[in-house]
Amino acid sequence: MNFQDKTIIITGAGGNFGRDGCIYFAKQGAKIAAFEVNAETLEETAKLVKEQVPGAKILCQPCNVTDAANVKAAVDAVVAEFKTIDMCWNNAGYQGHITPTLQYDPVDFARVMNINVTGMFIVLQAVAKKMEAQGKRDTTYSIVNTASVAGLHGTPAMVAYSSSKAAVLAMTVSCSKDLAPYGIRVNAISPALIGPGFMWDRQNELHASSGSPYYSRDPETVAKNKVNDVPMKRLGTIQEVIQSVAFLLSDQSSYTTGTNLVVDGGVISGLKC
C-alpha cells in the first residue's frame, strides 16, 4: 500500500490506536496531521513519531472533536501546512461508564453520544468539505470511522457506547452515499477484543465489578470467557486494526465504500451494512 506524501488526519492521536497509527503511516511516508484533545498525550505521540521515523512530517493539532470551530481551525491548519488532505482516520472516542442500563447516568450517555457520534460527524464533514473543494481526481479520497463490534452486538453494561457505535455505522453508510459523487469513500472499522494491555485489563475489571449478570465477578474469568467467544480464540492486536484501516484508506480498496470491516480477534471479515 503506497501512502508516500499523502496527507492523513488521525483523531484520537494520543490514544492506543491513534498513536500507533501515526507511527505506522509516518513509516509509510505519509504526512501526519495528529488531532487530540489531550495536549500531553499528543506531544508524546509526536515525540515517538520523530524518534521512530526520522524526518517524518507531523503536524500536531490540539483539538476537541465536539467543537466545530475548533475542528475547522485544525483542518484549515492542515491545508495551510500540507496543501491537501487525502485520508482521515476518524478515530477519537470515549467508552463511557460500564454500568447496566437501569443505573446508567443520562449525563454520561449524552457525553458518549456527543464525542463518538457528533464529534465524529463534525470531523467527517469538515474533512469532506476540504476534499470536495480539492476536486475529483483519478484516485479516491478516503475516510475511515472507528466503530466497534459493540455497535453490532450490543455489549451488556455499555448501552451508551453500543448505541454510539451503531450510530457510527449508520453514519458511515449514509455519508458514503452522499460523498461518493465527489470521489470520497467512507468506511468503518469495527475492532472486537484488542490487547493485551492496560485497556484490556481495565475493561475486564470494570465488567467484573459492573454488577451485570452477564459477567463473572472475577476479571480473569471475564477475560477467559470473552476470548472463548472469539473464533480465533485470541485477542486481536492494534497492528491488525491498523492494517485493516490502511487497506480501507489505500487505493487497493478504491471501489469500497459504505462498508464495515470487522476485526474479530484476528478474523477480518467484510460486512456490508
Task: Point out the catalytic residue in the list 24, 161, 182, 215.
Answer: 161
- CA angle in degrees (0–180, nearest 5) for 251-259-22: 55
User: Which residue from 272, 4, 257 is spatially nearest to 143, judged by alpha carbons?
Assistant: 257
- Of 14-22, 53-61, 180-188, 254-262, the window that binds ligand NAD (rule: CB under 6 A) is 14-22
User: Which residue from 262, 256, 268, 244 is spatially nearest to 1, judged by alpha carbons?
Assistant: 244
User: Which residue from 125, 105, 146 is spatially nearest to 248, judged by alpha carbons?
Assistant: 146
C-beta closer to ligand NAD: residue 53 or 150: 150
Among 6, 8, 14, 166, binds ligand NAD (CB under 6 A): 14
Q: Determine, following the binding rule CB under 6 A, whether residue 92 of this chain makes contact with ligand NAD.
A: yes
Q: Determine, following the binding rule CB under 6 A, whether residue 151 of this chain makes contact with ligand NAD.
A: no
- Taking the alpha carbons at both ends of the chain, their separation in whole angstroms is 25
In the complex, the smallest distance separating the C-beta of residue 55 from ligand NAD, rounded to whole angstroms, is 25
- Of 7-15, 98-106, 205-213, 214-222, the window that binds ligand NAD (rule: CB under 6 A) is 7-15
Under 8 Å between Cβ of 150 and 100: no
Under 8 Å between Cβ of 20 and 237: no
- Of 13-21, 51-59, 72-80, 219-227, the window that binds ligand NAD (rule: CB under 6 A) is 13-21
Among 7, 15, 246, 257, binds ligand NAD (CB under 6 A): 15
Under 8 Å between Cβ of 176 and 258: yes
C-beta closer to ligand NAD: residue 94 or 141: 94
Cell 515517538 appears where? Answer: 48
Return the DSSP state at 140: P
C-beta closer to ligand NAD: residue 191 or 258: 191
Active-site residue flag, 255: no
Under 8 Å between Cβ of 193 and 176: no
Please identify every residue annotated as catalytic: 161
Contact set with ligand NAD (CB under 6 A)? 11-12, 14-18, 36-38, 41, 63-66, 91-95, 115, 119, 146, 148, 191, 194, 199
